[in-house]
Amino acid sequence: MTCGRGGHRLLALGALIALAGCGSTKTATSVGHARTAPELRVGQSAVLSGETAGEALKVTLLAFSPNLSGGPNDHPEFDMQYVQADLRLTNVGSVVYRGAPRESVTVYTNEGTKSRRALLSEGPCADVFAREVEIAPGASAQGCVPVQIAVVASATRLRFAVGRWDGRAAAGAAEWSLARRR
């Protein structure tokens, strides 16, 4: 197989190029801590393709708070704390977007752990936005998504994967750095 000029290079190099798809720059999507694109900063947006044809979502991480308290009846799991992501979702596709933002958000920590889902009954993150949104083409929805992380951990990045909580088979995903600027 020859990829442009220099097809007579060493056999080992040729095999590597063939395996890499002749210099393709497309990054494979994988689960876990592998990064699929450059990390964004809070306030920046990413346009993600959806799971069905015509589905496209512009996701903006408006703010992230490492401290969130629920109502008097809301209690995180043992050794866990609530954190919140304020998001704006804009449908830039041609079909109605339906999803559950709480299933799309994963927060990673400095301890190498992932967040757990949370639903609050009271407070700023208790609205329906985290549970379900339906957004017509050209329209936006904005709200808060609560998750739980370990009390001893600090949030380092947030991943939004269209359609899946764990990122498996997600049509599109983006990551935001949560590192504090000095």
- Model confidence over 7-63: pLDDT tens digits? 333 333 333 333 333 332 222 223 344 445 567 999 999 999 887 889 999 999 999
Task: Report angle CA 100, 104, 110 to the nearest 5 degrees.
Answer: 140
Helix (H) or strand (E) run with residue 160 in it: strand 155-161
What percent of the chain has a predicted confidence (pLDDT) above 90? Answer: 54
| Average pLDDT over every residue of 162-177 | 69
Whether residue 155 is predicted with pLDDT greater than 50 in this model: the reply is yes
pLDDT at residue 31, as a whole number: 35
What is the CATH T-level fold of the domain 35-177, as seen in this structure? Immunoglobulin-like (2.60.40)
- Residue 100 vs residue 181, higher pLDDT: 100
What is the residue extent of each domain of the chain? Answer: 1-30, 35-177
Pull the structure tokens for residue 71: 């109502």
pLDDT at residue 37, as a whole number: 57
pLDDT band at 110, cuts 50/70/90?
Answer: very high
pLDDT at residue 67, as a whole number: 85
pLDDT at residue 106, as a whole number: 94
pLDDT at residue 20, as a whole number: 35
Residue 100 makes CB contacts below 8 A (sequence gap 6+) with 130, 131, 132, 133
- Residue 113 vs residue 163, higher pLDDT: 113
* Cα four-point dihedral sign 13, 19, 21, 25: negative
- Model confidence over 68-93: pLDDT tens digits? 888 888 888 999 999 999 999 999 99
* Cα four-point dihedral sign 98, 50, 92, 85: positive
Pull the structure tokens for residue 82: 């609530």
Whole-model pTM: value is 0.74
User: Which residue has 């920046």 as its token pair?
Assistant: 44
Q: Distance between CA 40 and CA 27 in Å, rounded?
A: 16
Whether residue 131 is predicted with pLDDT greater than 60 in this model: the reply is yes
